[in-house]
A and B are shown apart, each in its own frame.
Chain A
Amino acid sequence: MKNAHPSYTLLVFVLLGLLPFLFQDPRALIVLLAINIALIAKLGWERSMIKAYILVGGIGSCFAVITWLPFTNVGTPYWSSTIPLIHYPVQITDVGVLWALGMGLRLANVALLSMYYVFTTSPREIAMGLRGIGVPFSISYLLSLIFRFIPLVKNDLAIIREAQMVRGMSTSEGNVPERIRKYSYLLVPLIFNSLKRVQLIANALDAKGFRMRNSQHRFYRSKRWKKAEVFTLVAGVCIVSALFYIARLHPDHIGVLIPGRI
């Protein structure tokens, strides 16, 4: 993907990201996850991403499974009960188990794709990609600035935390309210420092001819669309549409457990 048109990469990931929403069945989704993992393994993992993925994607998926489990009223119940007061039935059914697993896998899939895209695409490429599909320059530039700020913010936070540790404060001790109060101690220096930076960055941008509406701006070394890319995209859109038709609109649903649900 390194030499691809940035908009192409963006759209490929959007298409891949749509696939998990076509299926509900964990069996279909696990196949999809395997394919995605294989694809990404081929493109090359990043160490830092694996950690983040396990944390965010993993925990998210587990909670998805837990939250969904008791709320499916379709299928044969293994266990059932009612919520007191409102008398709402909760039950664990065979379809419900599959459904919950499917939702967890759906999250795992989408998280994998989106995190991979963000971790391996530079803010500049994201901006170029968005520009290429018609997003205004100011918005695409805003996005690349955000990713420029995040490491600065993280770095500042680490120093501020240390600076408070050396004055005898420990962030790990204390009950929840106390820990919340400690976060507010981080905020003031963080914002004070960042705001100083804001003026400087705005100056640096303006001094280099940056303007919000700049029709003459063009990205250096921007790529041209290749025939193969256009072809792949068109084919991809067709495949996704076909799958949508088969899985969702056709009477003999593939990978759908409960019709009418997303």
Chain B
Amino acid sequence: MSVVIELNDVWYSYEKEKLVLQGVSLQLKQGEFVAIIGGNGSGKTTLAKHCNGLYKPTQGTVKVNGLDTKTMSVAQLSRIVAYCYQNPDHQIFHSTIKAEVAFGPKNMGWPPEKIEQAVAEALAAVGLSDKGDEEPHFSSKGTRQKIAVASILAMKPQVIVLDEPTTGLDYRGMQEMMELVRHLHAEGHTIIVITHDMRLVAEYAQRVIVMHKGKLLCDGDPVHVFSQTQVLAAAQVEAPAIYRFGKAAGIDDPIPLTLTAMKKQVLGEGI
């Protein structure tokens, strides 16, 4: 698998004294499904914004497909790495959902037929094909979140970064959103999700990155990461309930992280 994004000793600060990223090195490969977790203010959003050139490191390099982000504009990079904001209301401004989704492709200077097709595909992917002419501001939060995803999908990016895509959604909305993300992953997109919901991490991610105070504390598959009790405690996160149950009930390693895996394990144990 080829490396899509490579961070090499990245440092960053908004203001002089306060270092928000402190020497982060990291490689993200084509087709991965990565979750970034960590406490409030640990630098997750800042890290993610380095991947599409919105922020350029004060020290170190970020390479996307082998090219240094310092040499490219955000507009160029956003064709490769798309970033979906935490709050969809920060980006929606057109009067119809279709126009909103077409905004990105239009900026790319694509011909009209290509734009139309991209918009249709993106709307189909998020399940809003029949709502193209509605006013986006009047739809529910879940739908607005999907519009935001569609509007970056239409630019056909290789990598999709989603910053807390399920915050404020109810359980159904959250499941729909995550199934959409899983579907995008299956279609070949590289996915980076920032989230505080460990159930989702356990359920969907292949790789977990733990951030703490601007440093990368731990990087590995979910089973490995969630077994690092001390690291998690330091990073202000905690393992999903199923894992904690397994630990408390004395279930053998590796302790499963999801309901289905736990069920299998317990029944397999055949008490």
Contacts and interface: CB of A to CB of B under 8 A. Distances in A.
A167 B90 contact: no
B93 A188 contact: yes
B90 A160 contact: yes
B75 A192 contact: no
Contacts of B152: 166-167
A167 to B, nearest CB: 4
A167 B103 contact: yes
A169 interface: yes
Interface string A156-194: 100110111111111000000000000001111100110
Given A162-B54, A192-B137, A168 B90 contact: no
A165 to B, nearest CB: 5
Interface in A77-99: none
Nearest to B154: A167
B108 A189 contact: no
B2 interface: no
B104 to A, nearest CB: 4
Give the size range of B's interface with the partner.
Answer: 20 to 34
Contact of B52 (A166, A188, A193, A196): A166
Interface string B73-107: 11100110011010101111100000000011001
A170 B85 CA distance: 17
A163 B74 contact: no
B155 interface: yes
A166 B104 CA distance: 8
B91 A170 contact: no
A160 B87 CA distance: 10
Nearest to B148: A163
A227 B73 CA distance: 62
B85 A159 contact: yes
B69 interface: no
B110 to A, nearest CB: 10
Nearest to B93: A188
Interface in B159-210: none
B75 A170 contact: yes
A165 B85 contact: no
A159 B90 contact: yes
B107 A169 contact: yes
Contacts of A165: 54, 74-75, 78
A163 B108 contact: no
B187 to A, nearest CB: 20
Nearest to A159: B90
A167 B89 contact: no
A138 B152 CA distance: 45
B75 A168 contact: yes
B108 A166 contact: no
A189 B52 contact: no
Contact of A167 (B49, B87, B91): B91
8 contacts: A165-B75, A166-B74, A167-B91, A168-B79, A188-B92, A188-B137, A189-B90, A192-B89
Interface of A: 156, 159-160, 162-170, 185-189, 192-193, 196
